[in-house]
């Protein structure tokens, strides 16, 4: 049996249908991911007001904080599972002279390596409370995300709102882990 000059075998069609459907599903998923809107940042940040101690309320898991189980602050110190304190000093700078003050680059490598571009990571302020009491920070590739607050605790309602904002920006909030903050 032929249709428009092509042989049509029902057995062959049945074998190739799952492949074709799988390929179409993969292409659709790839296209949808490729067309995600860019991560938006707050328009401007008063960096002097933003400076200071922040407590990590939650984060997406990442390799450089894998041993931090408690009491993480954004002076970048934490307590490990063995109860030891771990700290690393970082430096931040505005990512671009022409860009907003909410797009920063941070470095935790030694200062003498500052000239190497790969030691600087994206630190974008995605949401910031008007009173600077909490912030949502992430990276444009959506691989890094932190919920920060000036206090060790955050109201559940506030946390839920921040999580909703992060999900709306395309972050995988199902992977976000709460951080234990002891008094």
The domain ranges of the chain are: 2-34, 47-178
* Each residue's pLDDT tens digit, 42-92: 999 998 898 888 899 999 998 878 887 777 666 667 788 888 887 776 777
* Each residue's pLDDT tens digit, 133-176: 999 999 999 999 999 999 999 999 999 999 999 999 999 999 99
Residue 166 CB: number of other CB atoms within 10 A? 24
Question: Per DSSP, what are the bridge partners of residue 106?
Answer: 92, 121
The correct answer on CATH 2.40.128.20 for the domain covering 47-178 is yes
Helix ranges, 45-109 (H): 47-50
pTM, two decimal places:
0.71
Mean pLDDT for 105-127 is: 82
Residue environment code for 11-43, b if the CB has 16+ CB neighbours within 10 A, otherwise e = eeeeeeeeeeeeeeeeeeeeeeeeeeeebebbe
Tell me: pLDDT of 18 over 60. no
Average per-residue pLDDT for the chain: 79
Question: Per DSSP, what are the bridge partners of residue 177?
Answer: 59
């Amino acid at each position: 049996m032929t249709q428009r000059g092509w042989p049509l075998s029902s057995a062959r069609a049945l074998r190739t249908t799952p492949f074709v459907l799988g390929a179409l599903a993969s292409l659709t998923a790839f296209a949808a991911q490729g067309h995600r809107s860019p991560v938006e940042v707050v328009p401007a940040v008063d960096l002097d007001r933003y400076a200071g101690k922040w407590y990590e309320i939650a984060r997406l898991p990442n390799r450089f904080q894998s041993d931090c189980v408690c009491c993480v602050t954004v002076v970048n110190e934490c307590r490990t599972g063995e109860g030891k304190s771990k700290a690393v000093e970082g430096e931040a700078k505005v990512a671009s002279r022409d860009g907003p003050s909410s797009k920063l680059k941070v470095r935790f490598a030694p200062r003498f390596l500052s000239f190497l571009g790969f030691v600087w990571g994206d630190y974008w302020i995605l949401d910031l409370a008007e009173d600077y009491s909490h912030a949502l920070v992430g990276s444009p590739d959506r691989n890094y995300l932190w919920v920060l607050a000036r206090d060790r605790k955050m109201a559940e309602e506030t946390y839920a709102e921040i999580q909703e904002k992060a999900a709306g920006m395309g972050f995988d909030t199902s992977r976000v882990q709460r951080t234990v903050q002891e008094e």
